[in-house]
Amino acid sequence: MRWNLRMVAAERGIWKSTELRRRLADAGLEISAGKMSGLWAGTPTTVRLEDLDVICSVLDCSPTELLICEPEKVEAARPKKAQASSAGSAPAVVHRLGRNRSKPPA
C-alpha cells in the first residue's frame, strides 16, 4: 500500500500539514504534531478507521484515494517456487505453521 495523503491534500489546495491539522481539529479530530508529521511525511504504521473517516470527510475523498494498492510489490515479495532440485543442493524449507496448537473449543 502507498499512503497518498499529501497528494490528495495538495489537489484540494492544502499545502501544509498545519493547515490540514487545523481543518481536522475543526472537524473534531485533534491530532498531535508528532502524529500529524507521521501522517504527512510518510506512510503511517497504523491509522484508526475513525480517523480515516474524518480525514476523508475533510478532504472530500474516499479511502481508495488515500490508500493506493500496489499488487506488483506483493507479487515481487512472494517467494519464488523452488525449481527442480539438483543433487547436492539444499533441501526446500517446509513451513510448519500451526504445529502443536490446541484445537478451538467446540
58-67 confidence digits (pLDDT tens): 999 999 999 9
CA 94 to each of CA 10, 16, 31, 76, 97: distance values in angstroms, whole numbers, following the listed order: 48, 50, 45, 21, 9
Mean pLDDT of the chain: 86
Per-residue pLDDT reduced to its tens digit, 20-53: 999 999 999 999 999 999 999 988 889 999 999 9
Question: Structurally, how many domains does the chain consist of?
Answer: 1
Whether 45 is in a domain gets the answer yes
> Domain containing 54: what range?
2-68
Instruction: Determine the pLDDT at residue 85.
Output: 47
Instruction: Determine the pLDDT at residue 96.
Output: 66
Whether 12 is in a domain gets the answer yes
Whether 6 is in a domain gets the answer yes
**Model-level pTM greater than 0.75?**
no
Residues in the chain: 106
* DSSP code, position 26: H
Whether 26 is in a domain gets the answer yes
Whether 30 is in a domain gets the answer yes
Query: Residue 39: which residues within 8 A CB-CB, separation 6 or more?
Result: 3, 5, 17, 31, 47
